[in-house]
Amino acid sequence: MVKRRSLRRIGLLTVSVFAAAIWSVNAQAACTIKVGFISTFEGAFAVLGPESFRGAELAVNEFGGKAGGCDIELIKGSSDARPDVAIAAARKLVENDNVDILVGPLSGSEGLAMKEYAKTQPNKTFVNGISAAQDTTLREPADNFFRFSGDGAQWQAGLGTYAYDVKGYRRVVTLGEDYSYPYTQVFGFMHEFCGKGGKVVKKFWTPIGAKDYSSVIAAIPDDIDAVYVALCGADPVNFLTQYVEFGGDKPLIGGSCTVGPDVLQVKGRFEDAVVGTVFAGPVAEDSNEPAWVAFNDQYKAAYAADQRWPGANMFLKAHYVNMKAVLLALDQVNGDLSNGQAALKDALSNMAFDTPTGPVSLDENRQAILSNYVSEIVRLDGGGIGPSMLQAIPAVTQTLGMDRAEFMKFGPVSRTNPSCP
C-alpha cells in the first residue's frame, strides 16, 4: 500500500514537472517584446512619418513578426519634429507603455533631445530612426543610443567635390531650415567644397514649415554660380515653386531630401528648374545593384501603389535598417533583456550586416559607417524627371575619413560654423 502511494506520488510529481516544463516552453513562445516607434506623423514633415513606419514594418514582417523567440509588438508615437513633442511621445512609450526598445526619431533636433533622454533610461535601448544631426553621436553620446544610419554630413560625401570639379561651381549660397540637421548637411557640403577652394558667400536659414521664400530669393546675389538647398518635407516644394515664380535662374545643388521622390511626384512648375540638380544622400533610387532592386521589389509587393511612395527611398531604407538591426540583435541574444539589456546592447555595438545599399557597421560612438551616393536629376526616357546615380562612395565615416582628434577641432556645427566666405 505504501509502495503504491509512493509510486502515485512519483507519478504526480513527474506529471507536475512535465506540465511545468510545457508551461515554461509555451510561456517563452508566447513572450512579447514591445518596440516603440516615433516619427513625424504631424507638422511640416508629416509626409515622412508614414513612409518611415513602413520601413520599420517591412523589417518586422520580413522576420515574420518575431525576433529572439518572441512576438514583436510595434507601438507608435507621434511627433511634429519639435524636440519637446518627441520627448513627450518617448516618455509615454517608455514610462507608461513600458516598451523595451525605442526606435526613432526622424528630425535632427529631436535626435539630440532623444540622446539626452536615453541617458536617463540606462536600462532601455534606443535605436535611431533617421534623425541626422551630427552631435547626436559625435559629442557626448549616450551609451544606449545606436545609429545604423548616417548623419547629415556623411550624406553629403562626394557632393562638394563633384560640384567644384565637375560642375565648375566656385561661389554658392546655401539655404536650409534653421536647426541642427541642415547645419550638419551644410557642413558636409562645405567640408569638401571649401576644401577645394570654393566659397559660400551667404547662408540663409528659414523656419521649418516656412510658406514664404520671396525675401530669400530676392536676396540671392547675382555673382554666384549655384544655390545649395537643404530643405525637407513640404518645404522644398514651397521653395522650388516660388523660386520659379520669382525668376530664380541659378543652378541648384540639393541636400539629401531636397529633390526626393516625395518632392518630384508633386509635378509642379519647378520641373525645368531642378533638371541638372546634383545632390547626395544615403541611397541611389535608380541603382541596379541586386540588393537595392530586391528591396525595391519587396517594398512594392508589400504595399499598394496608392499606399506608398513611387519606390524605395532614404526614409524607408533608414527605418528598415535600424529596425532590422534590433531584430538581428534580439535573435543573436535569444531575446535576453536581463541585466539592463546588457547582452542586447553589446550585440548592437558589434553588429555588422548587409543592407540594401551595402554593408553597415558601427564606430566606437555607435555611429554607422556606410555608403553614400551622388546623383543628378535628369529627364527620363519615358517622360518626366528623376535621379541618375553618378558616384558611389563606400565606407563613409562620421569623421569623413579624417583622424577623430583632428576632425573634432572643427567644433560643433551651427548657423555660422563652418565658414568660407
d(CA 91, CA 288): 42
d(CA 289, CA 18): 52
Evaluate the CA torsion angle 401, 407, 413, 415 in order and state its sign: negative
d(CA 167, CA 160): 10
Say whether 82 sits in a helix, a strand or coil: coil
d(CA 192, CA 165): 11
d(CA 151, CA 58): 23
d(CA 364, CA 399): 12
- Answer for the pair 330, 68: CB distance below 8 angstroms, yes or no: yes
Per-residue pLDDT of the chain (421 residues; tens, 9 = 90+): 444 444 344 443 333 334 333 333 444 457 999 999 999 999 999 999 999 999 999 999 999 999 999 999 999 999 999 999 999 999 999 999 999 999 999 999 999 999 999 999 999 999 999 999 999 999 999 999 999 999 999 999 999 999 999 999 999 999 999 999 999 999 999 999 999 999 999 999 999 999 999 999 999 999 999 999 999 999 999 999 999 999 999 999 999 999 999 999 887 789 999 999 999 999 999 999 999 999 999 999 999 999 999 999 999 999 999 999 999 999 999 999 999 999 999 999 999 999 999 999 999 999 999 999 999 999 999 889 999 999 999 999 999 999 999 999 999 999 999 999 9
Which of 74, 143, 151 has its CA nearest to residue 111? 151
- Answer for the pair 79, 42: CB distance below 8 angstroms, yes or no: yes
d(CA 103, CA 35): 7
d(CA 153, CA 202): 19
Q: What is the pTM of this model?
A: 0.92
Cα-Cα end-to-end distance for the chain: 102
The CA-CA-CA angle for residues 264, 265, 267, to 5°, reads 80
In the chain the domains, ranked by start, together with CATH numbers, are 29-150+288-370 (3.40.50.2300), 154-287+372-408 (3.40.50.2300)
- Answer for the pair 258, 229: CB distance below 8 angstroms, yes or no: yes
